[in-house]
Amino acid sequence: MRKYEDSYQHKGLRKKLIDVLREKGITDESVLEAMNNIPRHYFLDSAFDKIAYEDRAFPIGEGQTISQPYTVAYQTQLLQVKRLDKVLEIGTGSVYQATVLAEMGAWVYTIERQKKLYDHQQKSYHFKSRYPNIKFFYGDGFEGLPTYGPFDKVIITAAAPFIPPKLVQQLKTGGQMVIPVGEGDMQRMLRLTKQPDGSATEEAFDMFSFVPMLTGRNK
Residue 66 lies near ligand SAH (rule: CB under 6 A):
yes
Q: Residues 156-175: x/- map of binding to ligand SAH (CB under 6 A)?
A: -xx-----------------
Task: Return the number of the residue (97 or 187) whose C-beta is nearest ligand SAH.
Answer: 97
Smallest gap from Cβ 190 to ligand SAH, in A, equals 17
Whether residue 140 contacts residue 216, with contact meaning beta carbons closer than 8 Å, is answered with yes
The verdict on whether 67 is a catalytic residue reads yes
Residue 192 lies near ligand SAH (rule: CB under 6 A):
no
Q: What are phi and psi of 19, to 5 degrees?
A: -60, -40
Out of 34, 90, 167, 177, the only residue in the binding site for ligand SAH (CB under 6 A) is: 90
Out of 39, 69, 91, 175, the only residue in the binding site for ligand SAH (CB under 6 A) is: 91
Task: Return the number of the residue (115 or 195) whose C-beta is nearest ligand SAH.
Answer: 115
Separation of first and last alpha carbons in the chain: 26
Residue 96 lies near ligand SAH (rule: CB under 6 A):
yes
DSSP 19-83: HHHHHTT---HHHHHHHHHS-GGGGS-GGGGGGTTSSS-EEEETTEEEPPHHHHHHHHHHHT--T
Out of 31, 53, 64, 167, the only residue in the binding site for ligand SAH (CB under 6 A) is: 64
Task: Return the number of the residue (175 or 180) whose C-beta is nearest ligand SAH.
Answer: 180
Exposure b/e, 188-198, CB count within 10 A at least 16 = b:
ebbbbebeeee
Residue 111 lies near ligand SAH (rule: CB under 6 A):
yes
Whether residue 160 contacts residue 179, with contact meaning beta carbons closer than 8 Å, is answered with yes
Exposure b/e, 43-68, CB count within 10 A at least 16 = b:
bbeeebeeebbbeebbebeeebbbbb
Closest CA to 177 of 185, 160, 10: 160
Which of the stretches 16-24, 92-100, 126-134, 174-182 binds ligand SAH when contact is defined by CB under 6 A?
Answer: 92-100
CA distance 186 to 194: 25
Which residue in the list 7, 30, 46, 67 is annotated as catalytic? 67
Q: Report the catalytic residues.
A: 67
What are the residues binding ligand SAH (CB under 6 A)?
64-67, 90-91, 93-94, 96-97, 111-114, 117, 140-142, 157-158, 211, 213-214
